[in-house]
Amino acid sequence: MPIRISLDEIETLAVDRLCAAGADLAQARPVAQSIRRAEQDGVRSHGLMYLPIYVEHLTCGKVNGRAQPQMSQPRAGAVVVDAGHGFAHPAIDLGLPALQEAARACGIAALTVRRSYNCGILGHHAKRIAETGLIGLCFTHAPASIAPVGGRIPVIGTNPFALAVPDGAGGARFVLDQSASVVAKSEVILRSRRGEPIPEGWALDAEGRPTTDPAAGLKGSMLPSGGAKGFGMGLLVEVLASALSGAVASRDASPFSGPVGGPPGTGQCFVAIDPDAFAPGFVDRIAALAEAIQAQEGARLPGARRVAARRRLDAAGIEVDDDLAGRLQIQKN
């Protein structure tokens, strides 16, 4: 029977497991908080499911659990953080305050992170920027899993981007978070673990043929959302999160799952824009845009499902199936 645990218990469990695998508290806490937020949003593929992978990567050396990220600011509007092959989250935490300060001074600023790792749900970082009254535009690349349209060999990752827009009251009016692929690769990994098929149109096998077998899809290529247009979006992310940041290219990065290879060395790029530097009335225009979307029956703002899940799961807690509970050594009450 599945067990149910609270969000506080999830965060405590994650800190304990990460520290036991060799991470210090400075590295473990931000990752544990990210796992908590993912479960709170109902995005199971980025929550507790990923904790055994994080533990494995600490143990085998793909992540430096005691890394101390280093920040520099070579230009007024440019902030750079070297994650030192540690988790992405503490490196991002280090750079965001400087990014926000630079954006207010210059109107727009960018933060790049290199020698980094999986940063969890990208939209969470964009939302943090929006909560300070700035537009947050974020990019992260990943180990190659998408082949160019017409090809078979992956050259870019699922390469998500996220946009969060401030509401003028300390929150985000909406958060758009999507990847270049039809679905996040972690969703295919999740179904592979459960022995469940994937829908047709998610992936190709190693020979370039459509497949509903998640294991074959993981050996082949994820399909880009919208065909060539989706691949183009992923290429944009590759330029900003990988090439601009000085990170390892997606095609050379080791996988975010399994012990093969050394540290992935991937990167992120975060752009913060101060609307007040450009034209008055931004918040009112965004409110009107949101209303035009929400006023239509059946329509919703990006991120609305996660907001609804957050309200529901805050009180109900999180259900953990027997397989994951066993891997995490969660004891039933």
Instruction: Decide if 168 contacts 175 (C-beta within 8 A).
Output: no
Catalytic residue list: 45-46, 187
Average pLDDT, integer, range 63-69:
98
In the numeric block, which tokens belong to residue 322?
């027997």
Ordered strands of the 203-204 beta sheet: 210-211, 203-204, 221-222
Residue 186 lies in a domain: no
Enclosing domain of residue 59: 3-181+224-280+317-328
Instruction: Decide if 306 contacts 37 (C-beta within 8 A).
Output: no
Residue 299 lies in a domain: no
What is the reported pTM? 0.93
In CATH, what number is assigned to the domain containing residue 95? 3.30.1370.60
Residue 148 CA: distances (Å) to CA of 68, 157, 188, 216, 299: 36, 11, 19, 18, 32
Residue 173 lies in a domain: yes
Residue 249 lies in a domain: yes
Residue 210 lies in a domain: no
Residue 218 lies in a domain: no
Residue 297 lies in a domain: no
Instruction: Decide if 13 contacts 317 (C-beta within 8 A).
Output: no
- What band does 333 get if pLDDT is binned at 50, 70 and 90? low
Q: How far apart are CA 308 and CA 61, in angstroms?
A: 38
Average pLDDT, integer, range 323-330:
78
Residue 306 lies in a domain: no
Domain count, the chain: 1
Can you name the residues that pair with 5 across neighbouring β-strands? Answer: 318
Can you name the residues that pair with 181 across neighbouring β-strands? Answer: 224
Lowest mean pLDDT: which of 22-36, 160-174, 234-248, 305-319?
305-319
